[in-house]
Each structure stands twice: as C-alpha cells, then as structure tokens.
Amino acid sequence: MVRWAVKLSEFDIQYEPMGPIKGQVDSGGFQWVLSVDGSSNQQGSGAGIILEGPNKLLIEQALRFAFKANNN
C-alpha cells in the first residue's frame, strides 16, 4: 500500500485503501442452491450453471470457454 501512495503522490493523488467489502442478504429463510458442472474435449470446454431459488425460480446458463481448459 505504501508503494502505491508514493507512486501516486507524484501526480498529487492521495491513495486511501478500502477496507473489506462485506455483504449480507436476508433471504427470509429461503434457500438458494447453485450447481456447477464442466466438461472438456478436443472440440473445446465449457460449464453449465443452474441456480435454484425460492418459488421454483430456476436460472440456467451454459458457458463455452474461449481458452484451453481440462477436466481437472
């Protein structure tokens, strides 16, 4: 942090570090379930994500990665 303060002081900028960011949500006792699975083969790799929420809310997303990945 001191290093940033010294570098920025050349430009008359004061560095102030942020404290930890904490978040909390009161879900009213409802439970959310997150499921993630991935795969990889010669044609590429990707992942599937399913988020299940209260009142039978279901959010599904499929991702295809633009970088090399493996099953490990």
- What pLDDT tens digit does each residue of the chain (72 aa) get? 567 677 777 778 776 777 776 766 676 777 889 999 988 888 889 999 999 988 889 999 999 998 888 776
Instruction: Find, among 47, 40, 46, the residue nearest to 66 by Cα.
Output: 46
Domain span holding position 49:
29-67
Cα–Cα distance for residue pair 36/34, rounded to 1 Å = 7
Considering the domain boundaries, does residue 15 fall inside one? no
pTM for this model (two decimals)? 0.54
Domain count, the chain: 1
Considering the domain boundaries, does residue 50 fall inside one? yes
Instruction: Find, among 17, 14, 16, 56, the residue nearest to 33 by Cα.
Output: 56
Cα–Cα distance for residue pair 19/15, rounded to 1 Å = 13
DSSP for residue 54: G
Residue with tokens 């970088």: 67
Q: Where would I find the H helices in the chain? A: 2-9
